[in-house]
Amino acid sequence: MSIRLINRGRLLAALALSMAGPVLAADWIQTDNGSELRFEAMAQGERFEGQFNSFHTRFEFDPASPEKAKLEVKIDLGSVDTANAERDELLVSQDFFAVEQENQARFEAEQIHASAEGYTAGGTLTLKSTAKPVAFKFTFLVSADGQSAVLEGQTTLDRLDFGIGGGDWADEEMIGREVQVRTRVQLRRP
């Protein structure tokens, strides 16, 4: 009878541990309220800003073990919005994002490390079928109740690395090469 109780106890312990997984997992889901993905660039000597109105962030993260984290961001390129319809139409065209061929950009972190300023995610950005390494610096703040968090980060990209605005548009006098990208992602527990 005691052997039976021990086996039953082990079974109950195993079940409890397997059920605890989702509760203990550091999974975060993006909320649309307050989340933004913005960029800034130069065109004909003037700075302009824009944003992507549709993007999705999947983040598995424990600040105590950043090296085990997983970060994936999918961006709907057709949702670009610079508050200028003519520019937006140009950005979705073949010369820039070519959304008719591929409407999604994707960033996937392969490694995340803690730094003095927060964290750095080293990963791959795939845009227009071109994959390049990108380092993304970010902070991650969890609410007092542990049920919500804010990720804020930034990086700088060279648009020509991804074939954005090639040909006649490659001239830096027309459009600057550097694009500064900033994000603020509101997250919650599932």
Tell me the sheet residues that pair with 39.
Answer: 50, 181
Q: At 158, phi and psi to the nearest 5?
A: -100, 110
List the helix and strand counts (H, then E) for the chain: 2, 10
Q: Is 155 inside a domain boundary? A: yes
Distance CA 38, CA 49 (A): 7
Q: Is 70 inside a domain boundary? A: yes
- Which of the 8 DSSP states describes residue 72? E
Distance CA 57, CA 76 (A): 12
What digits encode the pLDDT tens for the residues 47-94?
Answer: 999 999 999 999 999 888 999 999 999 999 999 999 999 999 999 999
Prediction pTM value:
0.83
Q: Could you tell me the CA-to-CA distances from 100 to 39, 62, 87, 97, 127 in Å, in that order?
A: 22, 38, 17, 9, 13
Q: Is 164 helix (H, G, I), strand (E, B) or coil?
A: coil
Structure tokens at 127: 């845009």
> Which of 15-24, 47-56, 129-138, 162-171 has the weakest average pLDDT?
15-24
> For residue 7, what pLDDT band results from cuts at 50, 70 and 90?
very low
The count of domains in the chain is: 1
Q: Is 119 inside a domain boundary? A: yes
Q: Is 7 inside a domain boundary? A: no
Q: Which helix (H) or strand (E) holds 111?
A: strand 104-115
Q: Where does residue 45 fall: left (phi above 0), alpha (psi -120 to 50 degrees), or beta otherwise?
A: left
Q: What is the DSSP string of 15-54?
A: HHHHHHHHHHS-EEEEEEEEEEEEEEEEETTEEEEEEES-
Structure tokens at 171: 């001239």
Q: Is 20 inside a domain boundary? A: no
Per-residue pLDDT, 14: 38
Mean pLDDT of the chain: 88
Q: Is 113 inside a domain boundary? A: yes
Q: Is 18 inside a domain boundary? A: no
Q: At 170, phi and psi to the nearest 5?
A: -70, -20
Q: Residue 93 sits in which domain range?
A: 26-188
CATH of the domain at 175: 2.40.128.110
Q: Could you tell me the CA-to-CA distances from 84 to 9, 87, 169 in Å, in that order?
A: 65, 5, 18
Q: Is 95 inside a domain boundary? A: yes
Q: Could you tell me the CA-to-CA distances from 90 to 36, 84, 133, 153 in Å, in that order?
A: 22, 10, 26, 27
- Percent of the chain past pLDDT 90, that is, above it, reads 80
